[in-house]
């Protein structure tokens, strides 16, 4: 029996990938084919499966990859072949997105379809520019209109004179090419020449630019500044509120492109914090956490003799996860730890232990191995047995230091920090094309592995601000030839972001 195909007309939102809806993201993950537009953030495609076919059909001013009829035929053909097709469109598919035309073509062809609405640029872009399209006392109505009508029309169906008097706020999409003429007609329709206007280019992204003017001069200003699509224009008194409500472009990292090199699983926490500060985040995972049979065997042997240990020292969240995963796999729980105390390097590591129901007995004030040794300096640990479940190839300093104090130390390589099997090609290209302003490193492994990904060529990192989570990572960066600009005093992800923000503000 042939699999029945279906087309999902999905709104990708206005540009910020965080504005994608849950349902839209589910459809992307399930898709066999994704047919996407120019204004779709390519980061969203990273959520598709490796087997998914992605087809770019973007349209730009004066150039179309495929005509609309060809796009319609493509959707029908892929669906009839039994594919789950996602037609991914910027903003909302039914707000000047030609989604209605595509839906009609699918109905005519007898193809099943659904519509997944998206956040429209008509409201989101002004919001990111600090402009509410309605506001009590300024505007109680909003009109959304396109400045780019069907070129086959004999005359415009938009009565600009009437529109000028019909409502308070006008949001103009795709009108930058006709802006001067449109402004003149709105003035002729009765709007005051000094009515505030704001043009927002590449809204909701780190490339966002906003140009302010009035109906009388905005056309000239746009030409003078070289403003080109995509642009959303907001016409009305609410545009004047931007001076007080401009929140997004005021972010300390706005306009900065920041590279995150953490593993794909762990990158999101750092990426989210950077994005909240206004950064354009590029995720290029330079590390992959892997548990080999050898890792598992070593950890299992340690767990089998868990009663022998006085202390278990966890140096990372990855070590915590590996240890408790094996504990659970062997049918044990935290009660198996009996009298063993736990030491955690870092608040995140401590939190990971506590989240699994175990107590943390010691967290050094500084989140480095040297601080652990300082904490045990005043204790008599002669003959005490220590277990260190941590990354294969970790620094020997902690093991040697504990042994020098008379402790018996068993190191159980719990996981390996490897080079990822696949490199994110879009992220790597942005780095090598010189788009990165800041590179962040949360471990020594990410430093070494990124250099390997670049085949030893540090050229793409020349002139880039290098930010490290702590002194050990910074030392590794300097060893490979990088100039370190930022080292977090609090060796955590929040601490790294805070230090980076301070650095940027000081410059």
Cα 104 off chain centre by: 34
Among 152, 132, 102, which residue's Cα sits nearest to residue 241?
A: 132
CA distances from 494 to 237, 277, 377, 395 (A): 39, 12, 29, 24
174 has catalytic annotation: yes
Radius of gyration for the alpha carbons in the chain, expressed in angstroms and rounded: 28
Cβ–Cβ under 8 Å, residues 267 and 273: no
Catalytic, out of 32, 174, 280, 437: 174
Alpha helices in 178-238, H assignment, sequence order: 179-188, 218-225
Interatomic CA distance for residues 53 and 78, integer angstroms: 10
Going across the sheet that includes 341-344, the strands are: 288-290, 408-418, 385-391, 311-314, 341-344
Q: Residue 56: beta bridge partners?
A: 36
Q: Which two tokens stand for residue 117?
A: 């609405």
* Other CB atoms within 10 Å distance of the CB of residue 193: 12
Strands (E) located in 38-104: 53-56, 59-60, 63-64, 84-89
Q: Tokens 């029908």 identify what position?
A: 76
3 has catalytic annotation: no
Write the DSSP symbol of residue 380. -
Catalytic, out of 23, 26, 46, 59: 59
Interatomic CA distance for residues 139 and 66, integer angstroms: 40
Among 209, 203, 212, which residue's Cα sits nearest to residue 237?
A: 212
Cβ–Cβ under 8 Å, residues 313 and 391: no
Which of helix, strand or coil describes residue 115?
A: strand
Strands (E) located in 239-279: 257-260
Write the DSSP symbol of residue 141. -
Interatomic CA distance for residues 133 and 145, integer angstroms: 13
Interatomic CA distance for residues 8 and 411, integer angstroms: 52
Cα 56 off chain centre by: 21
DSSP string, 418-477: EPPSS--HHHHHHHHTT--SEEEESSHHHHHHHHHHTTT--GGGTTPEEEESSHHHHHHH
Angle at which helix 317-329 crosses helix 347-355, to 10 degrees, equals 20
Interatomic CA distance for residues 13 and 21, integer angstroms: 8
Nearby residues of 443 by Cβ (< 8 Å), 6 or more positions away: 262, 287, 417, 469, 473
32 has catalytic annotation: no
Provide the annotated active-site residues. Answer: 37, 59, 174
């Amino acid at each position: 029996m042939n699999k029945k195909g279906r087309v999902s007309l999905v709104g990708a939102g206005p540009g910020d990938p965080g504005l994608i809806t849950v349902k839209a993201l589910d459809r992307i993950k399930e898709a066999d084919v994704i047919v996407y537009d120019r204004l779709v953030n390519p980061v969203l495609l990273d959520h598709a499966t490796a087997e998914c076919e992605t087809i770019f059909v973007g349209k730009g001013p004066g150039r179309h990859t495929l005509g609309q009829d060809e796009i319609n035929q493509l959707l029908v053909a892929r669906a009839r072949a039994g594919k789950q097709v996602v037609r991914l469109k910027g903003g909302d598919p039914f707000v000047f997105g030609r989604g209605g035309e595509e839906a009609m073509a699918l109905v005519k062809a007898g193809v099943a379809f659904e519509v997944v609405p998206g956040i429209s640029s008509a409201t989101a872009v002004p919001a990111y520019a600090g402009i509410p399209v309605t506001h009590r006392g300024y505007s109680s109505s909003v009109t959304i209109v396109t400045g780019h009508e069907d070129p086959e029309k004999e005359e415009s169906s938009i009565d600009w004179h009437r529109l000028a008097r019909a409502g308070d706020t006008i949001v103009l999409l795709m009108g930058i090419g006709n802006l001067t003429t449109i402004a003149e007609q709105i003035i002729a329709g009765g709007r005051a020449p000094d009515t505030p206007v704001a043009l927002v280019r590449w809204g909701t992204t780190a490339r966002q630019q906003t140009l302010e003017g009035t109906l009388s001069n905005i056309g000239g200003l746009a030409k003078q500044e070289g403003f080109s699509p995509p642009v959303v224009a907001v016409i009305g008194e609410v545009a004047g509120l931007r001076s007080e409500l401009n929140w997004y472009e005021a972010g300390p990292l706005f306009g900065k492109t920041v590279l995150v090199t953490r593993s794909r699983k762990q990158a999101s926490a750092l990426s989210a914090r950077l994005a909240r500060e206004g950064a354009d985040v590029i995720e290029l995972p330079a590390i992959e956490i892997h548990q080999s049979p050898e890792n598992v065997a070593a950890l299992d042997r340690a767990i089998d003799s868990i009663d022998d240990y006085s202390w278990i020292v966890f140096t990372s969240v990855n070590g915590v996860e590996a240890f408790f995963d094996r504990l659970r796999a062997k049918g044990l729980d935290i009660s198996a730890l009996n009298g063993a105390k736990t030491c955690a390097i870092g608040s995140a590591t401590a939190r990971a232990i506590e989240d699994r129901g175990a107590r943390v007995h010691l967290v050094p004030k500084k989140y480095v191995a040297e601080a652990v040794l300082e904490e045990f300096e005043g204790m008599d640990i002669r003959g005490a047995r220590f277990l260190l479940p941590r990354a294969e190839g970790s620094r020997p300093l902690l093991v040697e230091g504990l042994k020098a104090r008379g402790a018996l130390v068993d190191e159980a390589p719990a996981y390996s920090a490897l080079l990822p099997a696949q490199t994110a090609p879009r992220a790597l290209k942005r780095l090598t094309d010189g788009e990165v302003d800041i590179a962040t490193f949360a471990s020594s492994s990410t430093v070494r592995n990124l250099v390997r990904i670049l085949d030893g060529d540090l050229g793409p990192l020349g002139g880039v601000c290098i930010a490290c989570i702590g002194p050990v990572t910074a030392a590794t960066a300097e060893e490979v030839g990088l100039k370190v600009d930022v080292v977090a005093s609090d060796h955590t992800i929040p601490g790294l972001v805070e230090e980076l923000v301070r650095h940027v503000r000081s410059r």
